[in-house]
Amino acid sequence: MSRSDAKPGRIAVVTGGASGIGEACARGVAAEGYAAVVVDRDPAKAQAVAAHIGGRAYAADVADLKQIEDCAEAIERDCGPVDILVNSAGIIQVPVRPYELPISAWDDVVRVDQRGTYVASLAFARRMIERRRGSIVNIASIAGMRSMPLHAYAPAKAAVIAMTECLAAEWGPSGIRVNAVSPGYTLTPALKLAIDRGERDTRALTANAALGRLVDPDEIARVVVFLATDAASAMTGANVPVDCGWLAGTSWSTYGGLRGAAV
């Protein structure tokens, strides 16, 4: 899609948009006719994605208050008023015991996943509030909804879900909707690489999923686009799991696991 195809004055910003779920979301909003703006701390990858979808690219560390505020100001100046913000920037961690997880790694995850989501929301919402319109979608995780051996990532994503509800109530009277999507195990390039290296077992990842498979990034993006646009005009403060039924299926392990297909 070229920029001339975009809806006039409708700008959608995707943080962490240079790869994985963020890249899929950038493609998704562009396909809906929005002028997509890819924000990532890897400028080369951001530019490559933006060029592919006819958008713009900006480099910023979402957790750095000055960087993201400067970035928001530059986007508004260069592109126009931002109507949609998708907070997809995030990092993961290895599933180790607490004493095996360096506190520096814990700090990095919380800084990007929790603080970054909050700081980016503040930077872009300030102008949305002035205009009395806007939509923010945060990428949380099913890890924030269940106990997992991810002692930085899971609490950080739980915080994203909580802040989604808090900001929805805070900014709703100003015309701003804030929702979250909680992906399940999603076949991003990073996960595929881990599977190919033998670091993750596809069977273990899908054993408790009712649909018996991994999520595709585009399936996440379609729900994000729904929540971000007027199609979900009455929704705010919601957290929507997109997990192939993993949350529904996990407790069945107590009874021997999910049953086979009905006959």
| DSSP codes of every residue in the chain | --GGGSPTT-EEEEETTTSHHHHHHHHHHHHTT-EEEEEES-HHHHHHHHHHHT-EEEE--TT-HHHHHHHHHHHHHHT--EEEEEE----------GGGS-HHHHHHHIIIIIIHHHHHHHHHHHHHHHHT-EEEEEE--GGGTS--S-TTHHHHHHHHHHHHHHHHHHHGGGTEEEEEEEE-SB--HHHHHHHHTTSS-HHHHHTT-TTSSPBPHHHHHHHHHHHHSGGGTT--S-EEEESTTHHHHGGGGGGTS------
> Backbone dihedral region of 95: left (phi > 0), alpha (psi from -120 to 50 degrees) or beta?
beta
Which residue among the candidates 58, 118, 153, 185 is catalytic per the annotation? 153
| DSSP codes of every residue in 15-62 | ETTTSHHHHHHHHHHHHTT-EEEEEES-HHHHHHHHHHHT-EEEE--T
Place of tokens 């993201």: 68
Told to judge if 153 belongs to the known catalytic residues of this protein, a careful annotator would answer yes
What amino acid positions are annotated as catalytic residues? Answer: 153
